[in-house]
Structure 1
Amino acid sequence: MTDIELLEQKARQNAAKAEAGMFPSPEASSVPGSIAYPLLTPGATPEDISRHCDEAIQNGFASITVPLNSIPLAVELLSDSPITVGTMVGFPFGSVPLHIKEREIFSAIASGAQEINVVVDIAPLRQGKKQLLFEEMKTLREITEKKQLVFVLEVPFLNALETITAVRLASMAHADFVSTSSGFFGTASIAHASILASASPEGLLVKTVGEIRTLRHAQALLSLGIARIEIPKAPDLFHTVAAR
């Protein structure tokens, strides 16, 4: 059995154990502090952004993700909170030319964004051109400077070798996070999150995007070592918990 096969097997076993509650879970009260709360729907108004920021504050979420043109308002509204303001670059396909991603990043940083989520073009991975992807990752790391850099990998479209290769390249490029998906093409499974967690070396954090409907599901993901869970309807989860 190859190293890749062993790692994939371990990841699947860990996912099954997490779902069965066999790993120590974080306290329910600590879960909101690991939540990334995105608002990436078309046509978001200033009122929508304001409500989104209020919900993030009220629930104690870790971060929000908003469109590029909404960053200044979100930064202003969250200026007295520890909540990180992020945005997406290359969304949703990741296949825009590098110079376009660079311009989006410059715009995001100038607007005050603290976290940059870059959708990776997975075509080079699927063609075996990992050096091409690595050079792009290095360039993006250089221009994001000290901002949090997240490489979004769309893991559901990759096999184990491609996924693990992407994680290793992101680590070599000194990214802060890797993410399972953008959420645009559906969400990742706990098995997808587990393979990122298993493949990521110390210092590279993992974000997962999922349809999380129960607190127990969120705790299972966190028990795998996931640092951030991106949940579009996160307040609903905690309202449900509070109502019990």
Structure 2
Amino acid sequence: MYRIKSAKDLAGHIEYNNLNNLATEEEMKAFLETAKEFDFYGITINPSFVELAKETLKDTDMSIGTVISFPLGFDTIEAKIKEAETAVESGADEIGMVVNISQIKDGNYAAVEEEVSKVKEAIGDKILKAIIESKALDDEEVIKAAQAIEKGGADYIETGTGFVSPNTIYEDVNLINIIQKYAPKIKIKITGGVNIYKIANQLLTGGADLIGSNEGYKIVKDYQDLRENTKITPKPIKFD
């Protein structure tokens, strides 16, 4: 069972996101410098900022992630492959690909498996996260999508883009439970609605491998302020 050991440990389970399409280069530089403070597992940014991130974070161990076919997932396989290859060439370590949700709703899980497999093949040893929009799916669709994604060779299934209403913690825990049961080999990244450390801790305890959040800095800073910066002076022991 997961239990937070320190702010550093918590940050090691968080991908700090900034997918704001209005972010300027100066704002992105500030975001990347902020990320350095806690040395997160990684960051996720838009593809146009990957090269900047590669240079800015070169002296850290943080993974650089970006997204393709984001946030709708409707691009063709060929377009997704090209986007992924370009992102890797720019310096991305991890690719978050939005799968074609229409194919899931149509029950065309073979097509989902195919696009995951081909994008994974294109990026080689880089990490592939297949993003579903779990809020739009019922449990049976999640199960079959997770199985197709696992068979396709993705490293993670990610539960959302963060661009729709987030799941409740109970919905996220349910997702973790059914994915672990029916697609046990794939790792799980929860994205959307996680903005305090207590929720992050509960989801990690529940079996999530990673938390994706644009509130990553706040989550870790609040934990650090509450737990690691609290100074308690022990009472002196009196002997009779």
Q: TM-score, normalised by structure 2?
A: 0.86
Tell me the residue number matched to 1:206.
188
Tell me the residue number matched to 2:235.
none
Moved runs in structure 1, 4+ residues, more than 6 A? Answer: none
In the TM superposition, what are the counterparts of 1:184-223 in structure 2 within 5 Å? Answer: 184-198=163-177, 199-200=179-180, 201-223=183-205
The alignment status of 1:147 with 2:126, answered yes or no, reads yes
Tell me the residue number matched to 1:89.
68
Q: Which amino acid aligns with 1:64?
A: I
Tell me the residue number matched to 1:105.
84
Tell me the residue number matched to 1:5.
none
Matched residue pairs, number?
Answer: 222
* Aligned counterparts of 2:6 and 2:136: Cα–Cα separation in 1: 32
Q: Which runs of 5 or more residues in structure 2 are unaligned?
A: 227-240
Tell me the residue number matched to 2:5.
27
* Aligned counterparts of 1:191 and 1:106: Cα–Cα separation in 2: 36
Q: CA deviation at 1:28?
A: 4.4
Q: Deviations over 1:42-72 (max 9, x none)?
A: 2322222221111111012111011111100
Tell me the residue number matched to 1:13.
none
Q: Which amino acid aligns with 1:222?
A: L
Q: Which runs of 5 or more residues in structure 1 are unaligned?
A: 1-22
If you compute each CA radius of gyration, which structure gives the higher value, 1 or 2? 2
RMSD (Å), alpha carbons: 1.7
* Aligned counterparts of 2:128 and 2:224: Cα–Cα separation in 1: 33
Aligned with residue 44 of structure 2, among 58, 62, 65: 65
Tell me the residue number matched to 2:20.
41
- Percent of aligned pairs sharing the same letter: 26
* Aligned counterparts of 1:197 and 1:233: Cα–Cα separation in 2: 21
Q: Which amino acid aligns with 1:238?
A: V
Q: Which amino acid aligns with 1:218?
A: A
Q: Secondary structure at the match of 1:208?
A: strand
The alignment status of 1:239 with 2:231, answered yes or no, reads no
In the TM superposition, what are the counterparts of 1:170-185 in structure 2 within 5 Å? Answer: 170-185=149-164
